[in-house]
Amino acid sequence: MLYYLLAFVVILIDQWTKWLVVRYMELGESIPIIENVLYMTSHRNRGAAWGMLQGQFWLFYVITIVVVVGIVIYIQRLQPTQRLFGIALGLMLGGALGNFIDRVFRKEVVDFVHTYIFNYSFPIFNVADAALTIGVALMFIYTWIEEKQRKGMSDGANSTHD
């Protein structure tokens, strides 16, 4: 239940921040938060990450539904020791549903976090995108930790004691 609560909080924050941007900013307007580093920029995206596959809503609907069902199945099968994996899945679920809500009701995704990394203008994103990215990163970390532990156990089982 904790992981669904995490997903719900992500959705709430994502939708609230997007509502604020739509309500109080003009499309294309940019407000500096940290000059040359972080801006709040009102942007819309009708595609996937970095604007790929513009207007392919049916594809996004199908992919999101499949991903959400898969995440829910994984959450239902989690063991109590898999807390990090559960947090990753909760973040990914909230992020996927946050952008899905935009696609269904707005026919576009509201993006607004605009960063510059070493003078590179990183593509504008939102809270749902950040949650998805953090969730995927945590999943990789969890997988790496699990693999190290498994390898450690198999190395320990194969060693002999004098």
Of the residues 14, 129, 155, 162, only one is catalytic, namely 129
Distance, in Å, from the CA atom of 156 to the CA atom of 154, rounded to the nearest integer, reads: 5
Of the residues 14, 111, 155, 162, only one is catalytic, namely 111
Distance, in Å, from the CA atom of 144 to the CA atom of 107, rounded to the nearest integer, reads: 37
129 is catalytic: yes
Which amino acid does the sequence have at 131?
A
**What are the residue ranges of helices labelled H in 25-106?**
57-76, 83-105
Indicate the burial class of 80 (C-beta count within 10 angstroms; 0-12, 13-18, 19 or more).
Answer: exposed
Q: What crossing angle do the helices spanning 83-105 and 57-76 adopt, rounded to 10°?
A: 150
Q: How many CB atoms lie within 10 A of CB 46?
A: 16
Residues tagged active-site:
111, 129
